[in-house]
């Protein structure tokens, strides 16, 4: 029965880290991964970084070192600081091998009287680092697991009744920010499945599920941000508007929407109504807009109201984006 120890900040977790952990798993019965808080390096919360590893490697024991040393170096004093901390944190557990690709592999393994197991020390297999990814996540996204990469992306959603400019501004911002945008899947689904201009409650649920599935695929192509036209809460309101009720599955998807996105913008109905055959009129637009605003208030979702022409709206969104930090 052998126990391996892996230490890191994982800010963010990348393929080099994964290779290290997977090597330790393949060569040992038990693997412990200690994660330093490292607030001086990254704003990504410790629990988020720990959750990545727990999700990808359920067999690994993850230890969150919230009060771990922040100073790094190879002086005798700094080395002893880290050694003493880890020995105390792990309560002098028997460690058979210490896995790393860093200089500290030598002195940490000696402190535990363990094998100094170096993995891809020269970064030949995975030529990447946390620093490179933090600086240019889009450039190095091939080295980051989709589960991790989606957490690095700012998810911006535009809400509003039909003909309030959601599609126009999402598309425009994606072009200006050199990223992707998610069109409202509901329009495509409605064209394919509507009967007498209506969808059933079950179809509305399927529509919301399909929209989210497409979002998930697009996250991998996003460059720092993704702009999304509509979320499941709007689909829920449509269900109540036309049927007086909604499926439990749709209610659950709408409930999760508040935590799924980072920035919410409500496109107001102060622009001319575009009356197309698939829409139900200006009066219905006003009614639904009021319902969306009330729903956001009820769910305590903080949002920014967008009014005026396209350039005025874009300027306001850009203002908030430049000041927003994902973590």
pLDDT in tens, 88-120: 999 979 999 999 999 999 999 999 999 999 998
State which H helix or E strand residue 87 sits in: helix 76-89
* Confidence category of residue 84, pLDDT binned at 50, 70, 90: very high
Give Cα 199 distance to the centre of its chain: 31
Residue 42 pLDDT: 92
3-137 sits in which CATH class?
Answer: alpha beta
Q: Are 71 and 42 in contact (CB under 8 A)?
A: no
- Nearest to residue 154, comparing CAs of 172, 174, 140, 171? 174
Mapped onto helix, strand or coil, the DSSP state of residue 64 is strand
> Where do you find CATH 3.40.50.300 in the chain?
153-323
Number of H helices, E strands in the chain: 13, 10
Count of CB atoms within 10 A of residue 43's CB? 12
SS3 76: helix
pLDDT in tens, 33-57: 999 998 989 999 999 999 999 999 9
Q: What is the CA radius of gyration of the chain?
A: 25
Cα distances (angstroms) measured from residue 109 to each of 61, 112, 113, 281: 19, 5, 6, 71
Instruction: Report yes or no: 184 and 158 within 8 Å, Cβ to Cβ.
Output: no
**Secondary structure (3-state) at 146:** helix
- With H, G, I as helix, E, B as strand and everything else as coil, classify residue 142: helix
Q: What confidence tens digit (pLDDT) does each residue in 187-238 have? A: 899 889 988 888 999 999 999 999 999 999 999 999 999 999 999 999 999 9
- Other beta carbons within 10 angstroms of residue 165's beta carbon come to 22
What is the model's pLDDT at position 298?
A: 95
> What angle separates helix 166-176 from helix 310-323, to the nearest 10 degrees?
60
Report whether pLDDT(248) > 90. yes
pLDDT, one tens digit per residue, over 249-304 is 999 999 999 999 999 999 999 998 776 655 555 678 899 999 999 999 999 999 99
* Model pLDDT, residue 61: 98
Positive or negative, the CA dihedral 231, 236, 238, 241 is: negative
Task: Please give the pLDDT value at position 326.
Answer: 82
What pLDDT shows up at residue 150? 95
Q: How far apart are the first and last CA of the chain?
A: 39
- Residue 278 confidence (pLDDT): 54
Q: What is the CATH number of domain 153-323?
A: 3.40.50.300
CB 194 within 8 A of CB 218: no
| Confidence class for position 121, pLDDT limits 50, 70, 90 | confident
Q: Where in the chain is the domain with CATH 3.40.50.620?
A: 3-137
Q: Please give the helix or strand (H or E) that residue 167 lies within, else none.
A: helix 166-176
pLDDT recorded at residue 122 = 84
Say how far residue 140 (Cα) sits from the centre of its chain.
Answer: 16
The DSSP string of 173-200 is HHHHTT-EEE--HHHHHHHHH-BTTB--
pLDDT digits (tens, 9 = 90+) for 303-322: 999 999 999 999 999 999 99
CA-based nearest residue to 138, from 105, 179, 167:
179
pLDDT of res. 187: 85
Which positions ≥6 away from 254 have C-beta within 8 Å? 208, 231, 232, 233, 235, 236, 246
C-alpha span between 28 and 33 (Å, rounded): 13
Q: For residues 120 and 107, what is the distance between their CA atoms, to the nearest angstrom? A: 18
């Amino acid at each position: 029965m052998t126990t391996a120890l892996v230490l890191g900040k994982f800010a963010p977790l990348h393929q080099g880290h994964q290779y290290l952990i997977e090597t330790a798993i393949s060569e040992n019965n038990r693997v412990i991964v200690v994660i330093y808080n490292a607030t001086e390096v990254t704003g990504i919360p410790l629990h988020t970084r720990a959750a990545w590893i727990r999700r990808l490697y359920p067999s690994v024991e993850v230890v969150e070192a919230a009060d771990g040393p922040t100073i790094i170096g190879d002086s005798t004093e700094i080395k002893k600081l880290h050694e003493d901390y880890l020995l105390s944190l792990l309560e002098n557990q028997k460690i058979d091998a210490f896995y790393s690709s860093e200089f500290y592999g030598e002195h940490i393994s000696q402190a535990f009287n363990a094998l100094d197991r170096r993995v891809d020390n020269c970064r030949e297999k995975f030529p990447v680092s946390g620093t490179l990814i933090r600086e240019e996540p889009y450039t190095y996204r091939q080295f980051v697991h989709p589960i991790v990469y989606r957490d690095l992306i700012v998810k911006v959603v535009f809400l509003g009744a039909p003909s309030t400019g959601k599609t126009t501004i999402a598309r425009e911002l994606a072009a200006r920010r050199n990223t992707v945008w998610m069109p409202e899947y509901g329009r495509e689904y409605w064209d394919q499945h509507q009967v007498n201009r209506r969808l059933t409650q079950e179809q509305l649920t399927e529509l919301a599920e399909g929209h989210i599935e497409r979002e998930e695929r697009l996250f991998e192509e996003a460059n720092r941000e993704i702009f999304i036209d509509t979320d499941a809460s709007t689909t829920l309101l449509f269900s109540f508007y036309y049927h007086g009720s909604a499926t439990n599955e749709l209610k659950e998807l709408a409930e999760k929407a508040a935590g799924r996105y980072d920035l919410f913008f409500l496109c107001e109905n102060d622009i001319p109504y575009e009356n197309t055959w698939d829409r139900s009129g200006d009066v219905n637009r006003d009614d639904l807009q009021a319902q969306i605003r009330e729903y956001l208030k009820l769910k305590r979702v903080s949002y920014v109201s967008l009014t005026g022409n396209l350039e005025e709206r874009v300027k306001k969104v850009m203002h908030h984006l430049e000041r927003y930090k994902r973590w």
